[in-house]
Structure 1
Amino acid sequence: MLSTLGLLGAMRELSSAFETATGVHIDADFAPTQALLKRLRDGETADLVILTREGLDEVIGEGRVAADGAVDLARSYVGLAVRAGHAHPDIATEDALRKALLGARSVAYSRLGASGIYFAGLIERMGIAAEINARATIVQQGFTAERLVTGEADLAVQQISELKQIDGIEVVGPIPHALQTPAVFSAACLANAKHAAAADRLLRYLASPEVVPVLRQSGLEP
């Protein structure tokens, strides 16, 4: 299975439950959607993929992924985090968010992830891109909140489900919903899946009501 980082937290628990119930082992690799799209286009194979809906639609259109059975699994909002014990800035409104971002010594955000692409566009629309990027901590891929723990940044921006993967930080909350469209993470089997039956079984499990509490706990909405 190749999966976007947004599902890493949930899949740690769900993979174990699935393997225990079925005896099917899941060999999972996690990376940003854009990185996974490149790997698929470079010829890497897998049985199941979890990507943003837009990314999945791209590889379905290219014939790499089977359109039949594609399922939307979870909705995810972009949020902000601070190092544990540090003050939580007000980010409830656009004006408050602007003040918080401009007041930070450095903001960490990703280069390849859906959240980073969104955030780069957001600060451009807000008219503060030059100021933020002049002192931003850009993460090529991985978890931006790690830069809070190392002290490189004051604020980290990423999907809330990804922020929650790092110890020693606190999620302040989501960027105001009026300023963002939630990412939808979707799954499908690859057209050339070698273990198609097992992949389909995992897909149906991930789309079942049974996994809803785990998704919510990891910062996702079913």
Structure 2
Amino acid sequence: MANTVRMLSTLGLAGAMRSLSSAFETASGIHVDADFAPTLALLKRLRDGEAADLVILTREGLDEMIGEGRVVAGSAADLARSYVGIAVRAGQPHPDIGSEAALRRTLLAARSVAYSRLGASGVYFAQLIARMGIAAEINARATIVEQGFTAERLGSGEADLAVQQISELKQVGGIEVVGPVPHELQTPAVFSAGRMANARHAVAADRLLRYLASPEVVPVLRQSGLEP
């Protein structure tokens, strides 16, 4: 259909994009066919030949796609910044994660920490615990989530703590976000959008891209735990 845009988006923006896609459809009459997955999974799908008009990835992932000629370089737009945070089941005490030493104690005290294997947050967290010298202890009882939201493992009782982008944690009910990992220990993920070089609906994709990069969407991004 000419009035449909096929969008592949990283999970970190799923909450915001569902709301923004709906608003865009109402205003433009263009339907957004959206699919959400971790960036590394999306990169594999795109390299395997999956078709899309617009992609939203981490900035590093988008740059790879531009380098491979799959995304139009001039179309790239940075949409939002996201920090990795920690969540507990609703009603549980909020542990101290305010400093590196406190975070280390909290992670070591947890029965199990849920983190993602394929998402940007999981890659970061694996590097963080290695840098802190506690990777062996944490991974011995970690709950590794192949795909999806780590905070779902709090409700099921599989884990005491969930680690993921704050925007992803906030999409799960029955949990509370304790806060971000101390900012000095992390570099925020930047999520960026671009039009595919072989987009079937390039005009509609460009229109959606302009909307997502406009000041109009800022309140929705903030509400979902992202920084414009």
Residue number in structure 2 paired with 1:17: 23
Residue number in structure 1 paired with 2:87: 81
Residue number in structure 1 paired with 2:51: 45
Q: Which of 118, 136, 139 pairs up with 2:145? A: 139
Alpha-carbon shift at residue 164 of structure 1 (Å):
0.4
For residues 174-215 of structure 1, the C-alpha deviation after alignment (integer angstroms, 9 at most, x for no partner) is: 000000000000000000000000000000000000000000
Alpha-carbon shift at residue 10 of structure 1 (Å):
0.3
Kindly report the root-mean-square deviation, in angstroms, between the aligned alpha carbons of the 2 structures: 0.3
Residue number in structure 1 paired with 2:4: none
What SS does structure 2 have at the residue aligned with 1:151?
coil
Q: Counterparts of 1:63 and 1:18 in 2: how far apart (Å)?
A: 28
For residues 93-136 of structure 1, the C-alpha deviation after alignment (integer angstroms, 9 at most, x for no partner) is: 00000000000000000000000000000000000000000000
Q: Partner amino acid for 1:211?
A: V
Q: Counterparts of 1:88 and 1:144 in 2: how far apart (Å)?
A: 17
What SS does structure 2 have at the residue aligned with 1:28?
strand
- Compute the TM-score of the two structures, normalised by the length of structure 2: 0.97
Q: Which of 210, 214, 218 pairs up with 2:216? A: 210
Residue number in structure 2 paired with 1:90: 96
Q: Partner amino acid for 2:63?
A: D
What SS does structure 1 have at the residue aligned with 2:162?
strand
Alpha-carbon shift at residue 69 of structure 1 (Å):
1.7
Q: Counterparts of 2:50 and 2:18 in 1: how far apart (Å)?
A: 23
2:105 is equivalent to residue 107 of structure 1? no
Alpha-carbon shift at residue 36 of structure 1 (Å):
0.1
Which ranges in structure 2 are unaligned for 5 or more consecutive residues?
A: 1-6
Q: Counterparts of 1:117 and 1:67 in 2: how far apart (Å)?
A: 26
Q: Which of 172, 188, 200 pairs up with 2:206? A: 200
Q: Percent identity?
A: 84
Moved runs in structure 1, 4+ residues, more than 4 A? none
Q: Partner amino acid for 1:108?
A: A
For residues 30-49 of structure 1, the C-alpha deviation after alignment (integer angstroms, 9 at most, x for no partner) is: 00000000000000010000
Q: Partner amino acid for 1:169?
A: I
Q: Which of 181, 185, 197 pairs up with 2:187? A: 181
Which ranges in structure 1 are unaligned for 5 or more consecutive residues?
A: none
Residue number in structure 1 paired with 2:3: none
Q: Counterparts of 1:69 and 1:46 in 2: how far apart (Å)?
A: 14
Q: Counterparts of 2:51 and 2:77 in 1: how far apart (Å)?
A: 20
What SS does structure 2 have at the residue aligned with 1:26?
strand
For residues 8-59 of structure 1, the C-alpha deviation after alignment (integer angstroms, 9 at most, x for no partner) is: 0001110110000000000000000000000000000100000000000001
Q: Partner amino acid for 1:147?
A: R
Q: Counterparts of 2:116 and 2:62 in 1: how far apart (Å)?
A: 20
Q: Partner amino acid for 2:217?
A: V
Q: Counterparts of 1:56 and 1:95 in 2: how far apart (Å)?
A: 34
2:190 is equivalent to residue 168 of structure 1? no
Equivalences for residues 28-67 of structure 1 within 5 A: 28-67=34-73
Residue number in structure 2 paired with 1:124: 130
